Structure 1
Amino acid sequence: MKIHAILRRTASALVLVPLIAAADQAQTRDLRNDPDAPIVVTGQRLTREQARERAVTFVRQVGVARGDISAARFVDPVCPRVMGIAEPYAGMVRTRMLAIAQAAGIAVGREGCQSNISVSFVGDASALMREIDRRSPTRFNEVPRDERAAMLNGDAPIRWWYLTETRSRYSMRNAPQSMQTETGGQTGGSAVTSGALEADALSHYDAGSHVSNQVNRAIVDANVVIDLDGVEGRSLQAVAAYAAFVAFSEVRPSEPPPTGSILGMFGAEPQADALTDWDMAFLRALYNLPLDRQARRHRGMLVRDMVDFQTRG
């Protein structure tokens, strides 16, 4: 079924930039919808050794738990909001994303929940990104510097960014406390009034643990911007699945993206129209992960669980 996705007057998810599409610019978008389309595409059976090699590469290329930065995911139930396309198509995107969340073991918010994921369909993603940066440059504070230019001025069909926070291992939010700096100044929360030290103090209950690092990195807000011209010809279900994957995990993909992933939909995997079995194995592993671990342990746990998901009978 073909969908006539017509841009309407709306606002961006973050800074309410007007997105106006004149009637003579409205186009028929080839965003086909099949409500019964599968969430997972089955793949070739691999040996455990082959699966491990592939899982190691997948985790590295997705960019989660990169370097010394532990993995992050939603701790609170996910609640997507979709803007920029008419109903019922926005509802189809949200329904697809929630179905993927449930299949991956991700908690889903109740009806009427406060959104923590914003998916915006726009006519010119680059223009919107630059306008957001102009009006509120702190919105992109967590975008790595080497990726910001591409997000603002590149031609990627789908772009995304996150807001994260550090919580205690029991999911308590930061408890800022005042502390003395070496120069005698005092911090209140994360604001430093004197000296160069900036820190947040977290309350811990079992600091003697040799495994836990006592903190969780939690995604508290994810934003996905979809350029309508860039995704023209793709199915709405495929676009929704792509949005779900990048929204639910802190994806920092490399080039090329992982083999056998929906992340290759605009390059190496042009026929991808749903999450692959590797994508789903990754999401399940991520949301099965104890967050209070170091990044290197997270990488190992993700690989182990992905291999288990892929090789279990």
Structure 2
Amino acid sequence: MRCCLNSLVLLSAFAAVPVAHAQDGATSPRPPAQDGGIVVTGKAQPPIKKAQRYIRQVLDTEDGQLARFVDPVCPLVLGLPARFKGAIEDRVRIVGAAASVRMGKDKCEPNLMIVFADNADSLLDTMRKQGNAAFTNLDDNALRDAFAAGPIHAWRLVVTRDEVGHLSTGNDDPDYPPVMEGETQAVTINAVVVMDRHVALGKSVRQLGDYVVMRTLVGARPPAKGSIASASILSLFDPNVAPPPAEITDMDIGLLAGLYRMRNPYEQGSDQAYRISRTMVGGKQH
């Protein structure tokens, strides 16, 4: 199923427009030593109700399970000059690894793609008309996320995997569903973010990389209405938040690390969210 992103690579090579006028001062990465100092546990632990409210705002915890990557994550950025492209990919790797996400080695096959395009809506419309394979096996919710009009499109291919590795997508034939063995978990196979280049201008690679981490590795999204319960990089493009966070916040990191350090991936999403919220305030998952 990873190969579904290959056709997006080919299309994006023509449709994505490099951000040629980005300012080095606004988008250049900081020294690697600073990025390597991410503290996943966070400095200030929030009250549990605040953590739970934040999770409810950015994740759907009632429908199924919370999905996460199981295979190593391999990020690829398209549509930016090389100095920015590599910096964002590195940032995704650094933050992911600090939160116990398995990251792929060099020259791995991409399963997390970030595309900067002249017009994201136009690119998605072209992809849809051409039947691009990047949409293969997506369920209705993921398709809705992919085609929702706006400067940023983000979606994930999530499947159900049983204890012996058998996969089931959301589009299985209801009359002939696959036979699953034992307990099952929601697994992210690949994730895509397509972003208008104009919204990226003036943002740092740290901000863009951290925003992508939360949208893809976690599947989080900014609330449709109202502000998030706590400071979050998901507010990066919210015009009502000024200034936006300079990087991923303690609350964001707590959710990311809690998800990827979750001991029982077979519980329902509401139970998983509760256990993650406990770790965010210094408790333990049981």
**CA distance 1:155–1:296, shift in 2 (3 Å):** closer
The code of the aligned residue for 1:202 comes to M
The code of the aligned residue for 2:268 comes to Q
Displacement after TM superposition at 1:114 (Å): 1.3
What secondary structure sits across from 1:159 in the alignment?
strand
Say whether the 8 Å CA contact 2:72–2:102 is kept in structure 1: yes
What secondary structure sits across from 1:275 in the alignment?
coil
Say whether the 8 Å CA contact 1:163–1:222 is kept in structure 2: yes
What is the alpha-carbon distance in structure 1 between the residues aligned to residue 22 and residue 149 of structure 2?
Answer: 22
What is the alpha-carbon distance in structure 1 between the residues aligned to residue 142 and residue 215 of structure 2?
Answer: 19
Instruction: Name the count of aligned residue pairs.
Output: 264
What secondary structure sits across from 1:93 in the alignment?
helix
5+ residue gaps, structure 2: 1-5
Displacement after TM superposition at 1:63 (Å): 1.2
Say whether the 8 Å CA contact 1:43–1:277 is kept in structure 2: yes
Partner residue in 1 for 2:3: none
Q: Give the share of equivalent positions with the same residue, in percent.
A: 23
5+ residue gaps, structure 1: 1-10, 177-188, 205-213
Displacement after TM superposition at 1:201 (Å): 1.4
Displacement after TM superposition at 1:223 (Å): 0.5
Partner residue in 1 for 2:161: 167
What is the alpha-carbon distance in structure 2 between the residues aligned to residue 40 and residue 222 of structure 1?
Answer: 25
Larger proportion of helix: 2
Displacement after TM superposition at 1:62 (Å): 1.1
Given the alignment, which residue of 269, 281, 285 partners 1:307? 281
Partner residue in 1 for 2:123: 128
Partner residue in 1 for 2:27: 32
Query: Under a length normalisation based on structure 1, what TM-score does the superposition of the two structures give?
Result: 0.74
Q: Which moved more, 1:128-137 or 1:116-125?
A: 128-137
2:179 aligned with 1:201: yes
Say whether the 8 Å CA contact 2:113–2:193 is kept in structure 1: yes
Say whether the 8 Å CA contact 1:15–1:132 is kept in structure 2: no
C-alpha offsets along residues 199-230 of structure 1, whole Å, 9 cap, x if unaligned? 221123xxxxxxxxx10110000001121111
What pairs with 1:93-132 in structure 2 (closer than 5 Å)? 93-132=88-127
Given the alignment, which residue of 50, 59, 66 partners 1:54? 50
What is the alpha-carbon distance in structure 2 between the residues aligned to residue 82 and residue 26 of structure 1?
Answer: 12
Partner residue in 2 for 1:245: 214
What is the alpha-carbon distance in structure 1 between the residues aligned to residue 158 and residue 108 of structure 2?
Answer: 19
C-alpha offsets along residues 86-124 of structure 1, whole Å, 9 cap, x if unaligned? 212211111111000111111111222111111111111
Say whether the 8 Å CA contact 1:123–1:227 is kept in structure 2: yes
Displacement after TM superposition at 1:27 (Å): 4.6
Displacement after TM superposition at 1:55 (Å): 0.7
Partner residue in 2 for 1:274: 247
Displacement after TM superposition at 1:161 (Å): 0.4
The code of the aligned residue for 2:244 comes to Q
What secondary structure sits across from 1:144 in the alignment?
helix
Partner residue in 1 for 2:197: 228
The code of the aligned residue for 1:106 comes to V
What secondary structure sits across from 1:13 in the alignment?
helix
What secondary structure sits across from 1:71 in the alignment?
coil
Say whether the 8 Å CA contact 1:13–1:119 is kept in structure 2: no
Displacement after TM superposition at 1:252 (Å): 4.2
Determine which structure has more spread, i.e. the larger CA radius of gyration: 1
Partner residue in 1 for 2:223: 254
- Please tell me the root mean square deviation across aligned C-alpha atoms, in Å: 3.1
What secondary structure sits across from 2:200 in the alignment?
coil
**CA distance 1:221–1:20, shift in 2 (3 Å):** closer
Say whether the 8 Å CA contact 1:41–1:276 is kept in structure 2: no
The code of the aligned residue for 1:81 comes to L
Query: Under a length normalisation based on structure 2, what TM-score does the superposition of the two structures give?
Result: 0.81
What is the alpha-carbon distance in structure 2 between the residues aligned to residue 126 and residue 27 of structure 1?
Answer: 20
Say whether the 8 Å CA contact 2:142–2:157 is kept in structure 1: no
What is the alpha-carbon distance in structure 1 between the residues aligned to residue 268 and residue 202 of structure 2?
Answer: 41
Displacement after TM superposition at 1:26 (Å): 7.0
What is the alpha-carbon distance in structure 2 between the residues aligned to residue 136 and residue 271 of structure 1?
Answer: 37
